[in-house]
């Protein structure tokens, strides 16, 4: 069992990379990928922990991309070099755009009569890239809302008074960055992007033409019917399948590493195509542990 989609304190998760590895081992997970949002700052700590625990580990990232008329279009990268010049350049750009958005959200909350400060937000970000979950936590701490769900439903979700659009990377740009850094590009949680099967098929074919390599078939919120549909599309389009929990720790407490809501199970052999594509045996950003594939 593997989990190729987890988040740490370096983005919007609540656990350090080494703690994610410890939890994975305790849960019987044999392979793990750290896929923080628009940052690879936790990669070194993560891979060191994987080596110490003799668990298979892959460097990773989750890029927020222009949604092309859909909901959330995220591209996962695996096995890429976090110090590649293009990765450094693009992540600096993405984080600058995130910060512009965050400051505008705080300003909108102030305009709504909520005296939240930037320092209030930073307390909840620890090492990570600041995002709306940290703003939501700050609102809870200041007793302006009861919980983070309420923060989103009243203020931070799309269409709510403090929501702010941000500038996204084009998906082809993200895919090309991942490839240039030696990695493979995978479409994350596709049914959060396009819910209609016909539109999704057309969208996946468009991303394949841009160079995408795989699709996240097994995912925490996917139904069995959706997984079967994605397996079919992967075979027809030429994607390899991947899967992961999208673990965030206390920010999404019902999701567990490797297990999702309870029944997620991503087989080890999903690593085979990834290992082949990223030249795993000679790739310093892949730790070959005890996952069999």
Q: What is the pLDDT of residue 233?
A: 97
pLDDT at 75: 98
Q: What are the backbone angles phi and psi of residue 56, rounded to the nearest 5°?
A: -65, 130
At 124 the pLDDT is 83
pLDDT in tens, 208-227: 999 999 999 999 999 999 99
pLDDT at 292: 61
Q: Where are the domains of the chain?
A: 2-90+171-287, 99-156
* Cα Rg, the chain, nearest whole Å: 18
* 211, 215, 221, 222: CA torsion to nearest 10: 130
Q: Which residue has the higher pLDDT, 14 or 48?
A: 48
Hey, CA dihedral for 4, 8, 14, 20, is it positive or negative?
positive
pLDDT at 127 over 80: no
Cα angle 174, 245, 208; round to 5: 35
Rounded to an integer, the average pLDDT of 263-292 is 92
Question: What pLDDT is stored for residue 263 in this prediction?
Answer: 84
Predicted confidence band at 131 (pLDDT cuts at 50, 70, 90)? Answer: confident
**How far is C-alpha 90 from the chain's CA centre?**
16
Average of pLDDT values for 163-177?
94
The more confidently predicted of residues 44 and 291 is 44
What does the pLDDT average to over 131-141?
Answer: 90
Judge whether residue 60 has pLDDT over 80.
yes
Whether 42 contacts 7, CB under 8 Å:
no
Secondary-structure class of domain 2-90+171-287 per CATH = alpha beta
Write out pLDDT tens, residues 223-238: 999 999 999 999 999 9
**Which are the contacts of 144, defined by CB distance < 8 A and separation ≥ 6?**
114, 116, 151
Class of the domain covering 99-156: mainly alpha
| pTM of the model as a whole | 0.90
Instruction: Give 185-204 as a DSSP string.
Output: EEE-SHHHH--SHHHHHHHH
The contacts of residue 86 (CB under 8 Å, 6+ apart) are 177, 180, 181
CB 169 within 8 A of CB 95: no
Question: 111 exposed, middle or buried (CB, 10 Å; 0-12, 13-18, 19+)?
Answer: exposed
Specify the pLDDT at position 293. 59
Distances (CA, A) of 39 to 43, 64, 214: 9, 11, 21
DSSP character at residue 58? E
Q: What is the mean pLDDT of residues 106-124?
A: 92
pLDDT at 128 > cutoff 90: no
- pLDDT tens for residues 232-265? 999 999 999 999 999 999 888 899 999 999 889 9
Determine how β-strand 2-6 pairs with β-strand 31-34: parallel
């Amino acid at each position: 069992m593997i989990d190729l989609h987890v988040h740490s304190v370096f983005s919007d998760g609540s656990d350090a990379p080494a703690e994610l590895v410890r939890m994975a081992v305790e849960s019987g997970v044999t392979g793990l990928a750290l896929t923080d949002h628009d940052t690879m700052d936790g990669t070194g700590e993560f891979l060191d922990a994987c080596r110490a625990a003799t668990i298979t580990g892959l460097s990773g990232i989750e890029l927020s991309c222009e949604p092309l008329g859909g909901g959330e279009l995220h591209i996962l990268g695996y096995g890429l070099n976090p110090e590649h010049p293009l990765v450094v350049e693009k992540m600096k750009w993405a984080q600058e755009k995130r910060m512009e958005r965050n400051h505008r959200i705080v300003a909108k909350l102030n305009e709504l009569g909520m005296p939240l400060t930037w320092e209030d937000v930073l307390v909840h970000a620890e090492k990570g890239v600041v995002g709306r979950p940290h703003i939501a936590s700050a609102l809870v701490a200041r007793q302006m809302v009861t919980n983070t769900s309420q923060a989103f439903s009243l203020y931070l979700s799309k269409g709510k008074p403090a929501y702010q659009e941000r500038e996204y990377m084009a998906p082809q740009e993200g895919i090309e960055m991942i490839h240039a850094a030696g990695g493979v590009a995978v479409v994350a949680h596709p049914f959060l992007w396009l819910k209609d099967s016909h539109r999704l098929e057309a969208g996946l074919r468009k991303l394949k033409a841009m160079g995408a390599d795989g699709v996240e078939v097994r995912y925490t919120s996917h139904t069995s019917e959706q997984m079967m549909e994605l397996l079919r599309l992967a075979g027809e389009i030429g994607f390899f399948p991947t899967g992961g929990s999208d673990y965030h720790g206390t920010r999404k407490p019902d999701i567990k590493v490797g297990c999702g809501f309870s029944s997620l199970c991503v087989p080890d052999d999903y690593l085979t195509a990834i290992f082949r594509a990223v030249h795993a045996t000679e790739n310093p950003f892949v730790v070959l542990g005890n996952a069999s594939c």
